[in-house]
Structure 1
Amino acid sequence: MARAFSAGRRGISAHLEAAERDLLRKLFADIVTMLEPATPAHTDPLAALIGLDMDVSVPRDPALLRLLPDAVKNDAEASLEFRQLTERSVRENKIAALRAASLALESEKVVLDEEAARLWASALNDVRLVLAERLEIRSEADAEKVHQVQDWSHAEDVDSYLSLVYNFVTWLQESLVQAMLSNLAARD
């Protein structure tokens, strides 16, 4: 079983079993696939440099919309304009964080420096957002219901399995954030 992230002299580290690392690799890869743009980057070098993408649209998949939400509530036109200016670079940054996190899973002991920890926190957050959408977590009551699922031997359907995965990723992210906060406190 995994040991939570903890802060140390060499950075933030955790021990993850092979099955846990494989699960995280698959989750990270699934989210990367979800985030990869359907169209190639703009052929205009300046547009590509700044991330301008006039071909974007509001994601139809609710989980992808959770990762790439509208910027302006109740204003579709302003949200689309903002999406055209930022979505490609947001996608690329998220993909980079997910790939960097996946690369750190080569050995049982995962050791992260400050930047890698930040990328991991981002990657775990994106996984949690997608899982929360798939589990239809909309309220504290929904979250509590998901957190009640604790035993892998009782995972009999997709929702109970996803609940266990969500709980594992949540626990891992919480331990990572606590370790990051410990590092910050140690510097002061």
Structure 2
Amino acid sequence: MSRGFRRSRRGIRARFDDQERALLAHLFVEVHEMLDDGPDGESDPLAMLVGIGTATDLPGDPAVARLLPDAHRDDPQASADFRRYTEAGLRQRKRDGLELARQTLGRDGNLVLDDAEAQAWVVALTDVRLVLASRMGLEVDDDHVRLELLAAAELAHEAAVAQRDAGGGSDDDGEADPSGGEATAGLSMLLAIYDFLTWLQESLVEALLEPLPRD
């Protein structure tokens, strides 16, 4: 199980088991794929050469929109112009950072990062957390409390169903699902992953701020 990040003389270290490595790698790949070329995939070659895209609107996927927010919410024209000149590069930088973080997970033994790699991890973890938060509807602190209650109800319902099935009871008893049914399916797992990433990122930021230890 992960012990979080620590500053050492060799670099910023962390220990992950195989399941944690696989989970993190999967999340980095998933968000990387979300940040595809978007509308720029159909841009003219000259525009692509100088890094100008065609996207002027906020992405339709709410999760991607949180990764690529409007720069000027009160000025749609300025926001559109800014997005046209910057979104393609921002997408690529985020993909590069996610891929770098994923590649470091392939190293043998404990993970050891230099400061540049650690900074890439900070951004990559932020991007994954933003996507998870969007999928769960987590916008403000109070939302986390609400989601915790829903996740607890989901787990309680699953335990009740398992107990009923073990006793040979029927699923068709007309009882309502207190967790909200399909709307919260897997919510407890998503929230647990989000909290794990939050803790991991906090330990990484703290490690980056730590002075280099003495011999």
Q: How many residues align?
A: 182
Take 1:15 and 1:161, find their aligned partners in 2: how far apart are those partners? 22
1:114 corresponds in structure 2 to 115
After superposition, where does 1:48-87 map in structure 2 within 5 Å? Answer: 48-87=48-87
Take 2:60 and 2:120, find their aligned partners in 1: how far apart are those partners? 26
Alignment pair present for 1:138 and 2:139: yes
Is contact 1:149–1:164 with CA below 8 Å preserved after alignment?
no
Q: Which amino acid aligns with 1:177?
A: V
Take 2:125 and 2:72, find their aligned partners in 1: how far apart are those partners? 25
Q: TM-score, normalised by structure 1?
A: 0.87
Is contact 2:94–2:124 with CA below 8 Å preserved after alignment?
yes
Q: Which amino acid aligns with 1:135?
A: M
1:16 corresponds in structure 2 to 16
Q: Which amino acid aligns with 1:81?
A: D
Take 2:98 and 2:72, find their aligned partners in 1: how far apart are those partners? 26
Q: TM-score, normalised by structure 2?
A: 0.77
Structure 1 residue 53 displacement after superposition: 0.5
Structure 1 residue 120 displacement after superposition: 0.5
Is contact 1:128–1:166 with CA below 8 Å preserved after alignment?
yes
Highest Rg: 1 or 2?
Answer: 2
Structure 1 residue 146 displacement after superposition: 4.6
Structure 1 residue 35 displacement after superposition: 0.4
1:7 corresponds in structure 2 to 7
Q: CA RMSD in A?
A: 2.4
Is contact 1:121–1:173 with CA below 8 Å preserved after alignment?
yes
Q: Percent identity?
A: 41
Q: Which amino acid aligns with 2:95?
A: I
1:43 corresponds in structure 2 to 45
88-97 or 56-65, which moves further after superposition?
Answer: 56-65
Is contact 2:9–2:213 with CA below 8 Å preserved after alignment?
no
Give CA deviations for 1:53-84 in whole Å, capped at 9, x if unaligned.
Answer: 12453201111000000010122221111100
Structure 1 residue 49 displacement after superposition: 4.5
Residues 5 and 42 (structure 1), Cα distance of their counterparts in 2 relative to 1, 3 Å cut: farther
